[in-house]
Amino acid sequence: MTKSALKVRHPHIVARKGYCGGSPVIAGTKFPVRSVVNYVLRQGMTPEELVAEFHHLTLAQIHDALSYYYDHQGEVERDIAANTESSVRSQLGAERGNSPADR
């Protein structure tokens, strides 16, 4: 069986249309996978440090979020890009008719 044919379960991760913008989040929370990626892979926090900072999370949830990221890297990277401060400001400005292109 090829790697792409395998359907890997991530019991700690949910992604539902209409919930948290459809972004993958840790089940039972609104903590997005993109935030785990940011803290651990971009800022260098250890999973243990993340759990110490966010007491409602477990190591199993953090490791599953990282596993989900590696299994769905393109999707999560698009989610990260869509949720940068500048991207969100641009989206909000466009919705209000104040996009930078309108100025």
DSSP per-residue string spanning the chain? --GGG-----TTEE--TTSGGG--EETTS--BHHHHHIIIIIS---HHHHHHHSTT--HHHHHHHHHHHHHSHHHHHHHHHHTSHHHHHHHHHHHHT--GGG-
Residue 66 has a pLDDT of 98
Residue 95 lies in a domain: no
92 pLDDT above the threshold of 90: no
CATH (domain of 41): 1.10.10.10
Rounded Cα distance between 64 and 69, Å, is 8
**How many domains in the chain?**
1
Residue 53 lies in a domain: yes
Range scoring the smallest mean pLDDT among 63-67, 72-76, 89-93, 99-103: 99-103
Residue 73 lies in a domain: yes
What mean pLDDT comes out for the span 46-59? 98
pLDDT category of residue 98 using cuts at 50, 70 and 90? low
Residue 25 lies in a domain: yes
Rounded Cα distance between 80 and 52, Å, is 23
Q: Residue 22's domain spans which residues?
A: 12-83
Percent of the residues in the chain that have a pLDDT greater than 70, as a whole number: 86
Range scoring the smallest mean pLDDT among 3-7, 24-28, 85-89, 98-102: 98-102
Amino acid making up residue 86: S
